[in-house]
Amino acid sequence: MAPDMKRWSSPSPSVTDLYRDLHRHPELSGRETRTAARLASELSLRQFDVTHGVGGTGVVGMLRNGDGPTVLLRADIDGLPIREATGAPYASAATGVDRDGTTVPVMHACGHDLHAAALIGAIDVLQACGDRWAGTVAVVFQPAEETGEGALAMVADGLAGIVGTPTVALGQHVSPVPAGAVVTAEGVYGAASDNFRIRIHGVGGHASSPEAAVDPIIVAAAIVMRLQTVISRETAAHEPAVLTVSSIHAGHAENAIPDEAELTVNLRSFNASTRHRLINAVRRIVEAEAAAAGMEQSPSVERISGAPLLLNDPHATHRTFGAIGESGLDAHIVTQPMTGSEDFGVIGDALGCPSVFWHWGGTAPDRYSPQELSSLLTEGRLPAHIPMNHSPEYLPDLDWALPAGIHAMSTAALHWLQAS
Ligand SMILES: [Zn+2]
Ligand SMILES: [Zn+2]
């Protein structure tokens, strides 16, 4: 069904202002104190019972409206250490202090500000028609999604004791596809991700006398190249997996050999056996390259973050997308999972309820030419002029993205709240 924007509810000016405020004041993962306080006060204004500080900066709000299902609605709230280059009038000039103590620029480059504002807008829709549904709305504003830590932290800090066992957990993410489209998969929807920090311990020395040193840069370079064969030579063509060396650091002076090199590696996989095979291959290659260079001290391979597979309950997803598709949004159920990852599934797993997660389009449809739209649909290819999430230029088109997100979330929530 083609999208019908006239059926989407427009956000109140205060929800649009909330979005702009969150966008202007992004905070790093686990440091979302201002964001959490702002969202908690929005929930209190709307008569929710609010619990602060769940898993660090997480916020949980409960709204009871008679007997009926409990529907958990989750939005993540963290920004990224990226300098915003969107040129928006409400662009961020914020900085934050990262875990290494370095001051970094911060930006809502993944759209989590929009997730939070759209969830508040969806609550307004639900409250405006409170006589048409019964049950409990459990709102979860989750910190630290980007580092894969926030959902686990909220669960470990007693989320179940606040929300009980919901009937369903719903979550959504904005993407650069045209507004009006919503996309999900039944079953595996997001990759498991595993991030490793690798430290290679060489022997430093003078650049003029490499024979007296053990050069960690050569070993790092060999590791980077050899790791490319884990996917290209060790992984079957029909087995989806991704391995990216995402950072490499070594040395300072132009006339010295450093004593250490550090790499980070990001893995994405879609089942447990591939995941274990990739992790073992990384360890094997790192250790073997260090041994080949005659390093006495073994390198360290430390898992620093990640997220489990994102599993959409097939039945609950089918139901939810049926309702979304009938509501004036163009609902696509795809068969290929995305290679992106999400820790949303941790919540449903821990609470023992089905999870449904989807992406919604946040880009004005007229920014796509008909040809670009068709290559998006057939090959999943984004046009070069449309930045994607995590780009310094990524910015949802507010007039489209916010109403579409509110409409998708409120439609999905109402479907479950009216199903008692
Ligand atoms: Zn992200
Ligand atoms: Zn995100």
- Residue 379 has a pLDDT of 83
In the reported structure, the alpha carbon of residue 189 is separated from the centroid of ligand 2 by a whole-number distance in angstroms of: 14
112 Cα to the center of ligand 2, angstroms: 6
Predicted confidence at residue 338, as pLDDT, reads 82
Distance between Cα 390 and ligand 1 center (Å): 6
Q: Find the 135 Cα to ligand 1 centroid distance in Å.
A: 32
In angstroms, how far is CA 23 from the centroid of its own chain? 16
Contact 364, 399 (CB under 8 A): yes
Ligand 2 mean position to 420 CA, how many Å?
Answer: 32
User: Nearest ligand to the C-alpha of residue 172?
Assistant: 2
Which ligand has the minimum distance to the alpha carbon of residue 112?
A: 2
Going from the Cα of 314 to the center of ligand 1, the distance in angstroms, rounded, reads: 24
Question: Residue 237 has what pLDDT?
Answer: 94
Cβ neighbourhood burial of 237 (10 Å; 0-12, 13-18, 19+): exposed
Q: Ligand 1 centre and the CA of 112: distance in Å?
A: 8
User: For residue 115, how far is its CA from the centre of ligand 1 (angstroms)?
Assistant: 12
Distance (angstroms) between ligand 2 centre and the Cα of 146 equals 7
- For the annotated binding site, the residues are 110, 112, 146, 173
Beta carbons within 8 Å of 247's beta carbon, 6+ residues apart: 262, 263, 264
Q: Which ligand is nearest to the CA of 77?
A: 2
How far away, in angstroms, is 211 Cα from ligand 2 center? Answer: 47
Whole-angstrom distance, CA of residue 53 vs CA of residue 57 = 5
Ligand nearest to the CA of 174: 2
Domains of the chain: 5-191+309-417 (3.40.630.10), 192-306 (3.30.70.360)
Residues less than 5 Å from ion ligand 1, measured at CB: 110
Q: What distance in angstroms lies between residue 259's CA and the mean position of ligand 1's atoms?
A: 33
Strands 95-97 and 300-307: unpaired
What pLDDT shows up at residue 420? 56
Residues 6+ apart with CB under 8 A from 4: 328
- The neighbourhood of ligand 2, an ion, using CB within 5 A, equals 110
Alpha carbon distance, N-terminus to C-terminus of the chain = 27
Nearest ligand atom owner, CA of 344: 2
Average pLDDT by consecutive 10-residue portion of the chain (420 residues)?
72 95 98 98 98 98 97 98 97 95 97 98 97 97 95 97 98 96 94 95 97 98 98 95 96 97 96 95 98 97 91 97 94 86 94 97 94 86 93 97 97 91
What pLDDT does residue 2 have? 58
CA 162 to the chain's CA centroid: 24
Alpha-carbon distance of 206 to 218, in angstroms, equals: 15
CA of 288 to the centre of ligand 1 (A): 33
Supply the pLDDT for residue 414.
Answer: 97
Distance 11 CA to ligand 2 centre (A): 22
Among the bound ligands, the one closest to the CA of 111? 2
- Binding-site residue numbers for Mn(2+) are 110, 112, 146, 173
Q: What's residue 378's pLDDT? A: 82
Report yes or no: 367 and 387 within 8 Å, Cβ to Cβ: no
The pLDDT, as a whole number, for residue 68 is 96
The closest alpha carbon to 197, from 273, 99, 124, belongs to 99
Non-local (6+) Cβ contacts of 95 within 8 A are: 103, 104, 105, 106
